[in-house]
Amino acid sequence: MTSSEHQSEPAAFTDADLAAVRAGVAQWRGPVLELSRAVNADPELAYAEHRAAARCADLLESGGFVVERAAYGLDTAFAARAGAGDRHVVVCAEYDALPGVGHACGHNVIAASAVGAGLVLAPLAEAAGLRVTVLGTPAEEVGGGKVDLLRAGAFEGADAAVMMHPTPWDDYGPESLAIEEWDVTYRGRASHASAAPELGLNALDGVVAGYQAVAMLRQHLRPFQQVHGIISHGGDAPNVVPERTEAKYYLRARTVADLEDLRHRVRACLEGSAISTGTGIEVEAVGNPYLPLQPHAGLVAAFTAACAALGRPFTPDPAGAAFGGSTDFGDVSQALPGLHADMTIHSWPAVNHTHEFAAHCVTEAADATVLDAAGALALTALAVARRPDVVLA
């Protein structure tokens, strides 16, 4: 469901809500943008985002939230709570970075917008009959912190979970692919590569043959089945027959059934290469697999109305809505009404997971998106409180 389908629907928040949210965004503009830039300048990897989590938690505490640090058994998660009432909205903050390219997926923008939305909502929530939790969710890029948190009960009893994600274009109701990550190890036997190669079993041959087999498989995959892989360790010395090599693979698909099909086919390629080279193989699933995103129509409509009320233009991809990528918010969206709105930072042709995109995440355009997202997420949460039908299926 696209955002444009909802642009004519009436807002589920009041004019007073809009005025209060505008004032709150203006009040917290400086600290929220400072947070975004500080997180961007100090990237930390999955499950190790100690400074980013602390920065977010400290700012929320200063805005009146009661903050539980190291929440739900995760050292770098937090749960900041404010308000009272029958309706409960969770605003998700992400803040892990990528190896080598830092905040090239813009999680500094996500964290700042979520914290900003919480700060705006804190003085408004109780009067609206709303409980708001800003949930710090580590390890989106690998591992799946939101899946950990979902299993630990962090979303239990919530009426909705909402967040935004910076991208080159706007899409307030995007879809995503299911994903599973594999670590693959081949084991052979070392020998002198010149004097006695016949005594060795070459684990590098095994990992290369497996990579090539997967490459040949790609032309026969179903639509939106994807495999990405790297050889992460190829041996230790050219004159030693490699006895141990490693590879990493991501498997993606549009549905759970297609992901299961892909598992069988890729495993056959990898195990076949081990048989052909006389090596052993171990395939280990890493972290949590992610389910596809399931955007909630009512939340998409409320968020779209909020952006329009705030005067934010909608900037879609002229090539049509993209379909790809994966997120652990997919699991959340399958468990309760969820909004994962993609919001442009006007970076095109720079796309996510590039050095150029990381630089775009601390521009004036990105700052404007942080503030727009904070306001729109706050208005969406108030809409859930004002109109219970927003989150009805």
The DSSP-derived string for 140-197 is: TTTT-HHHHHHHHTTTTT-SEEEEEEEESS-BSS----EEEEEEEEEE-B--BTTT-G
Q: What is the pLDDT of residue 308?
A: 97
In the chain, which stretches have pLDDT less than 70? 1-10, 393
The DSSP code for 239 is T
Measured distance CA(215)–CA(64) in Å, rounded:
53
pLDDT at res. 11? 74
Question: Please, are residues 271 and 180 in contact by the beta-carbon 8 Å criterion?
Answer: no
* Distance between CA atoms of residues 99 and 373, nearest Å: 26
Look at residue 10 in the predicted model and tell me its pLDDT: 60
To the question of pTM greater than 0.75 for the whole model, the response is yes
The predicted structure's pLDDT at residue 330:
97
Report pLDDT for 252: 97
Q: What is the pLDDT of residue 5?
A: 44
Name the superfamily (CATH) of residues 3-176+293-391.
Zn peptidases (3.40.630.10)
C-alpha distances in angstroms, 337 versus 58, 72, 291, 379?
A: 28, 21, 14, 16
What confidence score (pLDDT) does residue 21 get? 98
Does domain 178-289 match CATH 3.30.70.360? yes
d(CA 232, CA 245): 8
- Residue 209 has phi, psi (to 5 degrees) of -60, -40
- Peptide bond before residue 349 is cis, with ω within 30 degrees of 0: yes
Residue carrying the six token digits 């399958």:
334
**Residues 6 or more apart whose Cβ sits within 8 Å of residue 376:** 164, 303, 306, 307, 310, 312, 341
pLDDT at 262: 98
- Rounded to whole angstroms, the Cα distance separating 27 from 228 reads 44
* Structure letter (DSSP) for residue 274: H
Structural domain boundaries of the chain?
A: 3-176+293-391, 178-289
In the sheet that holds 226-233, the strands lie side by side as: 226-233, 244-253, 178-187, 280-290
**DSSP secondary structure of 55-87:** HHHHHHHHTT-EEEESGGG-TT-EEEEEE-SSE
